[in-house]
Amino acid sequence: ESAVERLTPPFTYAMRKHCEADSRFYRRLQGWAYAQGWHPSFKAKPEETVQEIYERYARIAVYLLVNKVLFYNIVRTHHPELPEIQVEPKSARRIQQVLRERFKDVLRIDYETVFKDDLFSEILFPKGAVEDMTRFLRDFDAYNFHKVNYEILGRVYENLIPEGDRDRKSVV
């Protein structure tokens, strides 16, 4: 099972809860989807929207997070002053805090396009994702990004992205 497959269910739950608690976020999510050219069936109230819609956008949020972590590790090979992403499996909030700190570190260099906060950055990491997030982040420690080439990078993505999604041009 890929990291995306493991992390999508708890992120789906968190996204739905966030939308139900914050109607402005829900409207912004709708606007973001439409701006991408997608026209999902959002309902007037977030609690009426079908689960598949939340799952689709939670999956995108997970993909964006995976890309940020991967890209951060690659940038570190050229900027050794950037610290490793080290987390202890204490809480989802702490993991999210550490990631935000690391992404702010890299923003001091550049790469705003990748690391700036986005709509999905507002969603609190779900408690149910602590173990899988910790494992996901520690799995990156197994790779030596100094020696990475495109073939190896492709293998990393193969382990992160479910097989069915790798074959599609879009995850939506």
Q: Which contiguous run of DSSP H or E holds residue 169?
A: none
Checking if the pLDDT of 41 tops 70, the result is: yes
pTM of the model: 0.81
Query: What does pLDDT average to over the chain?
Result: 84
For residue 137, what pLDDT is reported? 87
Read off the pLDDT of residues 48-57 as tens digits, 9 standing for 90 and up: 999 999 999 9
Per-residue model confidence (pLDDT) at position 170: 40
CA separation for the pair 25, 78 (Å, rounded) = 36
- How far apart (Å, rounded) are the C-alpha atoms in residues 68 and 107? 12
Mean pLDDT of 107-134: 87
Q: What is the pLDDT of residue 111?
A: 81
* pLDDT value of residue 150: 54
Q: What is the pLDDT of residue 156?
A: 59
First-to-last alpha carbon distance for the chain, in angstroms, is 20
> Where does the chain have alpha helices with state H?
3-21, 23-35, 51-76, 92-107, 112-115, 130-139, 150-160, 163-166
How far apart CA 147 and CA 134 sit, in angstroms, is: 24
Predicted local distance difference test score (pLDDT) of residue 154: 59
**CA proximity to 8, closest of 62, 88, 87:** 62
